[in-house]
Amino acid sequence: MTEQLSFAYYQTAAGLLETGCTAQAVWILRFLTGTPEYPHQPTALSDKTAEEVRAYLAGECRSFTVPYQITGTDFQRSCRMAAQRIPYGETRSYGEIAAAVGNPRAARAVGAAMARNPLWLIVPCHRVCGADGSLTGYAGGLHLKQHLLQLEQSNREASESL
């Protein structure tokens, strides 16, 4: 990346959202638990990203249209792209993601790749769970992971009953 990231911060129903954007793409999207590290420099793209996150958290949208950049090693990127293919309101295990990327014995490495995901929600690592369906690890905390999964499941069930 040759361009510098501009960081911006937005209050949402899930907490303080941090975006890190270039003029072309979102590189970082996460919720902060502490004080922002960088100055608040909103852009049209960070504003649009926050708008989409708020709509997602309100149950009004299920996917994101903002341009983004998936980063990491080849393995991390393949895991993150596999996570993006998990349908809204569903989950997959770390082992299922490992098998999907051609390395069925790499469930722990998938967990590490998800833990370092800088694009929360856009790359829905909250949809990746333990083999028994248990909620394991989430950088935003298990309470947020549970909230996001419940939000998606209830919205999906409501739309299926229509």
Most confident of 2-6, 136-140, 157-161: 2-6
pLDDT band at 123 (very low <50, low <70, confident <90, very high): very high
Report d(CA 22, CA 3) in Å as an integer.
6
pLDDT over 80 at 12, yes or no: yes
Contacts of 57 (CB under 8 A, 6+ apart): 12, 13, 14, 151
Kindly name the residue from 21, 61, 79, 125 that is annotated as catalytic: 125
> What is the reported pTM?
0.90
What pLDDT score does 160 carry?
67
- Percent of the chain having pLDDT more than 90? 80
What pLDDT score does 156 carry?
73
Per the annotation, the verdict on 129 as an active-site residue is no
pLDDT over 60 at 1, yes or no: no
